Amino acid sequence: MSNQSSMAEFLLLGFSDIRELQILHFVLFLVLYLATLVGNLLIISAIAVNRQLHTPMYFFLGNLSLLDLGSISVTVPKSMANSLLDIRSISYVGCVAQVFLFVFFAAANFGLLTVMAYDRYVAICQPLHYERVMNRTACVRLAAGAWLTGLVYSALHTGNTFWLPLCQSNVIDQFFCELPQLLKLLCPGAYRSEVGVLGFSACLLLGCFAFIVVSYAHIFSAVLRIPSGQGRHKAFSTCLPHLIVISLFICTGTFAHLKPRSSSAPGLDLAVAVVYAVVPPMMNPVIYSMRNKEIKAALRRLTVWTLFTRNNMLWLSPMPVTLFWLL
């Protein structure tokens, strides 16, 4: 391939050429995808219908669930379709869109996690000023800033990558259009043009990471000064889910992109990509609801309300509603 103008499609690396294993891959990904959809939609619904959860922390959590839904919906459905139909191709435009959206959701996700660290810092270190600092306008602006940062970063990264000539091949050793794998297809010498964007990416990511570390250093210092054990436990409980989510996001992404290329095999790359592209969006709702009594209570009320409404509908209009649920 001399350049991208002559490239109509890319070929993605499948998990297996054996038909039975392809069907197994489809079923496993379908289960993971449905679990992620249900978990994140439950979190969003519980926050939306429960007034007690209309606070900055849960506002950001709802945004995080939206980003998780978008992130996993970019990669998994196409991979499932390829396995089910026994194909490997993805169009050039489809690959560009997949790279742009995946980088956008990932960058916005990290930006939002940084904003959530600031929210916890203000709540614990400056509790008397929390309502004034984290008012509705400030929360909307912070969330919009995370989304906008992800959009600009993704446009810059994607545009620069696909503007460079691709000469090596059109085969991507991954189950979706992953940026590091695309960089391997660049023509000799073209990679130097990507150094500037990669340097900017490193500075941006390290800046966010440093901000999170400094925020939690102040948080832990403030928590340790709380005299009562119950107060310290409550403060740590509000921070623990966020810390686990950040650790999962950073560790999986770092290992995927910084592992030695010499030890990189296609099977290992596929497994690592599943870990950082599929596992965090699926686990985030579990992490936040597992130790959060307010989320648990809201989910129980939502479930009871849904069942009660459904039973009332069935009692008031049994025939049409029964047909509706069957359909």
How confident is the model at residue 234, as a pLDDT? 79
Instruction: Please check whether residue 227 lies inside any domain of the structure.
Output: yes
β partners of residue 89: 11
pTM assigned to the model: 0.84
In the chain, which residues have pLDDT < 70?
Answer: 1-7, 168, 189-194, 256-267, 290-294, 296, 298-299, 302-327
Angle at 148 between CA 109 and CA 247, to 5 degrees: 15
How confident is the model at residue 190, as a pLDDT? 63
Structural domain that includes position 114: 4-291
Instruction: Please check whether residue 318 lies inside any domain of the structure.
Output: no
DSSP secondary-structure letter at 265?
Answer: -
How confident is the model at residue 320, as a pLDDT? 42
Q: Which two tokens stand for residue 25?
A: 């891959």
Instruction: Please check whether residue 263 lies inside any domain of the structure.
Output: yes
Query: Do 183 and 21 contact (CB within 8 A), yes or no?
Result: no
The CATH number assigned to the domain holding 31 equals 1.20.1070.10
Angle at 171 between CA 168 and CA 174, to 5 degrees: 125
Instruction: Please check whether residue 238 lies inside any domain of the structure.
Output: yes
Query: Do 26 and 84 contact (CB within 8 A), yes or no?
Result: yes
β partners of residue 10: 90
Q: Which residue has the tokens 């978008």?
A: 70
Instruction: Please check whether residue 323 lies inside any domain of the structure.
Output: no
Closest Cα to residue 112, out of 177, 59, 54, 153? 59
How confident is the model at residue 315, as a pLDDT? 47
Q: How many domains does the chain have?
A: 1
Instruction: Please check whether residue 296 lies inside any domain of the structure.
Output: no
Instruction: Please check whether residue 244 lies inside any domain of the structure.
Output: yes
Phi, psi of 166 (to 5 degrees): -105, 120
Instruction: Please check whether residue 175 lies inside any domain of the structure.
Output: yes
